[in-house]
Structure 1
Amino acid sequence: MKIKITGIASYIPERKISNTDFGNHVFLNEDGTPFGRPNEIIIHKFKGITGIEHRRYAEKEHTSSDLAFFAAQKAIDNAQIDPETIDYIIFAHNFGDVKSGTIQSDMLPSLATRVKQKLQIKNPKCVAYDLLFGCPGWIEGVLQANAFIKSGMAKRCLVIGSETLSRVVDDHDRDSMIYSDGAGASIIEASEDASGLLSYESATYAMDEANYLFFGKSYNTDLDPDTRYIKMHGRKIYEFALTTVPAAMKSCLDKSGVAIEDVKKILIHQANEKMDEAIIDRFYKLYNKPVPQDIMPMSIHELGNSSVATVPTLFDLLVRGKIKNQEIHKGDILLFASVGAGMNVNAFIYRY
């Protein structure tokens, strides 16, 4: 028995933030000293590396669980199911609900419980819980749904990835330009045909790598040092990802029995265009193969890095034909992969 995605949807906030909107930011070094370059040069270099030109921020009245609810509603409609038949709601996020203008994370009750209430699901046997797994959270949620369904504990799961990273960034850190908000949701059920999940890989590297992403103080030394923001050791993450992600993808593909020539699309976490391109290049080099044209759909240019929401949002856009020069067909082999805080890495092979 396999599991398949029978419903997919995303919620992309309408509030668009362009690179030029960072023109008046005061970017600082880690020690609080001026960065020493004009913002125009900083932004130009940023776009050249990440590929990001725009990103989306949630409206002030919405929280992460609101975005998740919007996406979940659409996924349920897409799957044409009764929400009362959902056995598990698995909500992947990192920072809970952070209301606009506040600095405190709210995770009580769980965000999954909040979505269940918003969906008005009365069935108490629909179990709702949160999953903290960094950016690979949605993929890990799919793997957990796979385990529940294969074990007989569930027949149908709702897996969500949602985040409002714009509310946990340090405005004085250049990395703040990477992050964005959004949500993706999926309905997972048992597959009765050839489609579905074929193999998977998941790992946590927690020795030297555990603190590559962390919560740290602002680069502005005049601000409260006890107020924390998302921080990262970008170079270390880049080097880590280039080594571990291609290896995980290869292990996953080899376990599936699918030939690399049969992989039609690779849906990878949208964190940094240059890093993603390097990962794909190294993956194909492990097989001594050239990278096929149009193998990697991208949404990062317009949507930025919305963490757990990037992969399901990318899949939703691909399915709906919303990515230029990209399309998939019934029976196509897809490779999903992600890397993020933990440091966590995961992947799965999927027949569409």
Structure 2
Amino acid sequence: MNIKITGSGTYIPTEAITNTDFANHVFLNDDGTLFPQSNEIIAEKFKVITGIDERRYVTDDLNTSDIATIAANKAIEDAKIDPETLDYIIFAHNFGDVKKGAIQGDMLPSLASKVKHNLRIKNPKCVAYDMLFGCPGWVEGVIQATAFIKAGMAKKCLVIGAETLSRVVDPHDRDSMIYSDGAGATIIESTTEEGGILAHESATFSYEEANYLFFGKSFNTELNPDIRYIKMYGRKIYEFALSNVPNAMKECLENSGVQLNQLKKILIHQANEKMDEAIVQRFYKLYNQKMPEGIMPMSIHKLGNSSVATIPTLYDSILKGKVENQVLNKGDVIMFASVGAGMNINAIVYQM
């Protein structure tokens, strides 16, 4: 028995927000003082560091569970399955449904239950639950689905990664320019086909690192301090990722039995272009090799960092021919790798 991704789907929001759209923002330091550089200089430096030209935001009428449902429907159609045959719906997100203008996230009922309701699935044996695991949530959801199938507890699982980070960013924090919205969904099932998930690796570093990403008040001291926004210690995350992600990727590859030169693509969480490049370069350096050209497809330039959605949307976009100069063929060995709040790290070696 092998376990494969048999269908995938995405929802890419229609609202494109360019770096110049932040021209009128009042960016502040964390102590509330005015940032000394002009927004034009901030935007230039931001693009150099992150690689982001623009990002996508959902329209006011859509919530995270809505865009997840759209992506899920596409994945179900792609896999050509009856949704009533799903054993699990695993929904990775971090903030629930946050309606436009609201100051609270809505996670009652769970977003997985909302999606099951939206899909009109009647089968009570289809168990729906949420995964809160930071940006690596979709990868971890795939790992859990694999475990259920291996244990004989499931045959088909729907794993979703979706987020609307535009609703939880502090407009006075320069880091708000990183985040975006999106949804990706995949069907994971047992199959007689060759390949599938060959190995996985997961870890949580929380002794000192737990609060590198956190919920904090606005940098604008005149705003209500009880309203919280996504915040991060960027330098600490960068150093953490470079120190730990390459080692996890190496361990995962070695557990898979695949040789480094067999690896065709690395689909890494689209967090920050320079950081992602540095992680993959360091991974190859562990083997005294140079990072091959084209090994790391990127979608961050136009889609930004949509957290749990970045890897499944990138995967589906490549399959559907929407990423320039990037293809995935049957039999190709690829790696998924992610890092995020927790601090959590994971990786999967997968044969198409």
Give the TM-score, by structure 1 length. 0.99
Once residues 311 and 168 of structure 2 are traced to their aligned partners in structure 1, the CA distance between those partners, rounded to angstroms, is 21
CA offset digits 1:79-100 (Å, max 9, x no partner): 0000000000000000000000
Once residues 237 and 21 of structure 1 are traced to their aligned partners in structure 2, the CA distance between those partners, rounded to angstroms, is 27
Once residues 11 and 53 of structure 1 are traced to their aligned partners in structure 2, the CA distance between those partners, rounded to angstroms, is 19
Aligned to 1:12: 12
2:294 is the alignment partner of 1:298: no
2:171 is the alignment partner of 1:171: yes
How far 1:12 sits from its partner (Å)?
0.2
2:118 is the alignment partner of 1:118: yes
Aligned to 1:88: 88
How far 1:283 sits from its partner (Å)?
0.2
Once residues 135 and 286 of structure 1 are traced to their aligned partners in structure 2, the CA distance between those partners, rounded to angstroms, is 24
Aligned to 1:250: 250
Aligned to 1:135: 135
Once residues 258 and 123 of structure 1 are traced to their aligned partners in structure 2, the CA distance between those partners, rounded to angstroms, is 39
Aligned to 1:55: 55
Once residues 318 and 21 of structure 1 are traced to their aligned partners in structure 2, the CA distance between those partners, rounded to angstroms, is 28
| SS class of match (2:21) | helix
How far 1:191 sits from its partner (Å)?
2.7
CA offset digits 1:71-128 (Å, max 9, x no partner): 0000000000000000000000000000001111000000000000000000000000
2:283 is the alignment partner of 1:286: no
Q: How does 1:135-284 map to 2 (within 5 A)?
A: 135-284=135-284
Aligned to 1:332: 332
Aligned residues between the structures: 352
Once residues 290 and 261 of structure 2 are traced to their aligned partners in structure 1, the CA distance between those partners, rounded to angstroms, is 10
How far 1:290 sits from its partner (Å)?
1.1
Give the TM-score, by structure 2 length. 0.99
Once residues 115 and 329 of structure 1 are traced to their aligned partners in structure 2, the CA distance between those partners, rounded to angstroms, is 31
CA offset digits 1:12-71 (Å, max 9, x no partner): 011110000000000000000001000000000000000000100011000000010000
| SS class of match (1:172) | coil
| TM superposition outliers: structure 1 runs of 4+ over 4 Å | none
Aligned to 2:103: 103
Aligned to 2:345: 345
Once residues 265 and 15 of structure 1 are traced to their aligned partners in structure 2, the CA distance between those partners, rounded to angstroms, is 29
Aligned to 2:45: 45
Mind listing any 5+ residue stretches in structure 1 that lack a counterpart? none
Once residues 2 and 215 of structure 1 are traced to their aligned partners in structure 2, the CA distance between those partners, rounded to angstroms, is 40
Mind listing any 5+ residue stretches in structure 2 that lack a counterpart? none
| SS class of match (2:289) | coil
Aligned to 1:323: 323
CA offset digits 1:317-341 (Å, max 9, x no partner): 1111111111111100001000000
| SS class of match (2:216) | strand
Once residues 141 and 116 of structure 1 are traced to their aligned partners in structure 2, the CA distance between those partners, rounded to angstroms, is 16
Once residues 195 and 79 of structure 1 are traced to their aligned partners in structure 2, the CA distance between those partners, rounded to angstroms, is 17
Once residues 272 and 345 of structure 1 are traced to their aligned partners in structure 2, the CA distance between those partners, rounded to angstroms, is 16
